[in-house]
Amino acid sequence: MDKREEGMEGEKIAAGYLEGVGYSVLDKNFHTRYGEIDLIALDKNGEIVFAEVKTRRAKSFGYPEEAVDERKIKKMIKTANIWLDGKNQLDSEWRMDIISIEMDSGTPKITHLQNITQEMDYTSDDKDI
């Protein structure tokens, strides 16, 4: 399985996980010139969730969620704002999550990190991207 197939498999697992905990998946692989958001969902409280899915077969490169850096988060915020604007949802409650999937042992281990920007200042600034 190559990296792309691994990522697609991880996204399927993540979507199933979100649906299993009561979320509704609204969109998948939303692309803009700034980047892509893997999954967009609505949680049980009506909050829109923009989720980055990271999948790894081995920990030799660290935990999957460690691959999401400040630059990636800024791109996600810009992409999320475009999605929100296109759906007339700019005033909606929303957050950024990471869904980390480790597939090094038979059963995938899922870690769901919620509201990853809560205590950080990720103001969008074009020159940083």
Structural domain total, the chain: 1
Amino acid residing at 26: L
- Domain containing 96 equals 3-122
The answer to whether 53 and 99 are in contact (CB under 8 A) is: yes
List the CATH number of the domain containing 49. Answer: 3.40.1350.10
93 in any annotated domain: yes
- φ, ψ for residue 116 (rounded to 5)? -65, -15
Of 106, 118, 41, the closest CA to residue 80 belongs to 41
Within a domain: 21: yes
For residue 10, the 8-state DSSP code is: H
Lookup result for tokens 């850096």: 69
| pTM > 0.75 | yes
According to DSSP, residue 108 is labeled P
Q: pLDDT tens, position by position, for the chain (129 residues)?
A: 677 787 889 999 999 999 999 999 999 999 999 999 999 999 999 999 999 998 887 666 666 677 788 888 999 999 999 999 999 999 999 999 999 998 877 788 899 999 988 755 544 444 444
Contact by Cβ (8 Å): 96, 76: yes
Residue 65 placed within a domain: yes
